[in-house]
Amino acid sequence: MAELGARHLTLVSRSGRPAPEAAELLAGLAEEAEVDIVRADLGRTEDVARLVRHIEAGPRPLGGIVHAAGGSYDERLISELTWESIEDQLEAKAYGGWLLHEATEKAFPDLEFFVVYSSVSSVLGGFVAQGHYAAGNAALDGLADWRARRGLPGLALNWSSWSRVGMSSRMNDVLIQELKRGGVHLFSPTRALNTLVGLWDQPRGQRVVGDFDWDRYMAGRVTGDLFFDRLARRAAEDDGGLDVAALAALSPADRAAAVTAVVREKVAAVLHLEEGDELDPNTEFVSLGLDSLMAQQVRSGLEQAFRLPLPASLTHDHPTVRQLAGFLGERIGPAPAA
Ligand SMILES: NC(=O)c1ccc[n+]([C@@H]2O[C@H](COP(=O)([O-])OP(=O)(O)OC[C@H]3O[C@@H](n4cnc5c(N)ncnc54)[C@H](OP(=O)(O)O)[C@@H]3O)[C@@H](O)[C@H]2O)c1
C-alpha cells in the first residue's frame, strides 16, 4: 500500500501485534507512512463500530479497505467439524467482512476500494479438510460480488498458497506435499504483491491468483472439476493450446500429419527459420544448430501446445522432427493398429 502511495495506514488485528515475519517490515513501514495500529476483533459488532468511530474522529477520510483478516489454520474433515470450529473460521471472514461493509457503507460512501483476501479453497474445492475455511472465503467472495453489483467497490482475491510468509508457512509438510502433487505451486510474496499492484485499477470483480499446473491438477481428479471446465480450460485454450481431444480422434495418418506440422512449427520458430526454409524431418536437431537452451524452448512450446508434461531429454531421445512427432502422436492418441 505504501509503495502504491498510501501515506496513512490503519492496521487492525485482535492482538495489535505483527506476525514475527512482519515485525521488521512494520518497522520500515513507519518511515514511509503514518501507521496507526488499532486492536479490534472484526467479528464483533462493537469492535467494528469502535474502529469506524476512531477513523471518523481522525483527520482524514477512509480511502479504502483491504480485508486480510483470518488465517487461523485448522484442518478437519466435515465429519469432524464442530460449531465452534466453524464459527472460528467464519468470524473474521463472513462476519468480519459483512460488519465492515455495513459499518463503512454510510460512514464512508466514497471508498475507492474494498479488497477482500479470499482463497482458492472457495473456488477449487478439493481441500478435503478445509470445508469450514472454504465457507468463510465463499462468504467474502459473495460479499465482494454483492457490493460490486450495487456499484460499490468490491474485489475478491482468491489467493493460492503463498511461500515463506503467512498461514501457508505454518502448514504441515504433508499438506504442502499434497498441494504440490495436486498441481498447486507455492506463490512467492513478491509475485503475489506485484499481481495485486497490477489489479489495483480494477476495483470490482473476483480474481483467482496463483501458480497452477492444470495437467497435474486434473490428473488427480476422477470426477472432473467445474472451475477447470468453465475457466481454466478456456484460458488454456486461449494461450495457444491445441484441441487435443480433436487431434486424438483423427485417423492415425491425419493425426501424424497434424502433429508433425506443430513440431515443425515449434522447432522452426526456435531456430528462427524463415517461412519456406526447408526443415528436413529426418535431420538430427543438433546438426540444425539446436542447443540445449533451444531444446528446452522446443519442449516447453510443445508442452503448452499439447498440454502434456514432457521430459527434459525430449529432443535428445527423439532427435528428429519425424521421431519427435511419432512420439507425441503416440502420447495423445491410440497407437495405429498393427
Ligand atoms: N498466506 C496464504 O498462503 C494465503 C492463501 C490464501 C488466502 N489467504 C488469506 O489471506 C489472508 C491473510 O493471510 P495471512 O497468511 O497473512 O494470515 P496470517 O499470517 O494468519 O494473518 C492473519 C491476520 O489476521 C488477523 N486476524 C485474524 N482474525 C481476526 C479478527 N477476527 N479480527 C481482526 N483481525 C484478525 C491476525 O491477527 P490477530 O490474531 O492478532 O487478530 C493476523 O494479523 C487470510 O484471510 C487468509 O485466509 C492467505
Q: Which of 140, 157, 159, 191 to mutate to test the pocket of ligand 1 (most atoms within 8 A of CB)?
A: 159
SS3 state at 209: strand
Does residue 258 surpass a pLDDT of 70?
Answer: yes
Q: Within a 10 A sphere around the Cβ of 55, how many other Cβ atoms?
A: 19
Closest atom of ligand 1 relative to the 187 alpha carbon: 3
Does residue 338 surpass a pLDDT of 50?
Answer: no
For ligand 1, is residue 176 a contact (CB within 6 Å)? no
Residue labelled with grid coordinates 483467482: 208
pLDDT tens digit string along 294-306? 998 899 889 888 8
Closest atom of ligand 1 relative to the 14 alpha carbon: 41
Task: Give the DSSP H or E segment for 260.
Answer: helix 252-270
Q: Mean pLDDT over residues 155-182, rounded?
A: 86
Q: What is the rounded distance in angstroms from the CA atom of residue 90 to the CA atom of residue 136?
A: 5
* CB contact at 8 A, 87 and 187: no
Q: Mean pLDDT over residues 189-200, rounded?
A: 89
Residue labelled with grid coordinates 472457495: 122
Beta strands per DSSP E along 14-112: 34-39, 64-67
* CB contact at 8 A, 261 and 301: no
Q: What is the rounded distance in angstroms from the CA atom of residue 131 to the CA atom of residue 125?
A: 8
pLDDT tens digit string along 263-283? 999 999 888 887 767 889 999
Least confident range of 20-24, 98-102, 250-254: 20-24
* CB contact at 8 A, 181 and 174: no
Beta bridge partners of 187: 162
Determine the length of the chain: 338
Q: Residue 113: which of 79, 68, 83 has the closest Cα?
A: 68
For ligand 1, is residue 10 a contact (CB within 6 Å)? no
Q: Where are the domains of the chain?
A: 40-238, 244-332
Closest atom of ligand 1 relative to the 72 alpha carbon: 20
Assign domain 40-238 to its CATH superfamily.
Answer: NAD(P)-binding Rossmann-like Domain (3.40.50.720)
CA quadruple 70, 76, 77, 78: dihedral sign: negative
CATH 1.10.1200.10 fits 244-332, yes or no: yes
Q: Residue 326: which of 260, 250, 248 has the closest Cα?
A: 260
Copy the grid coordinates of residue 291.
542447443
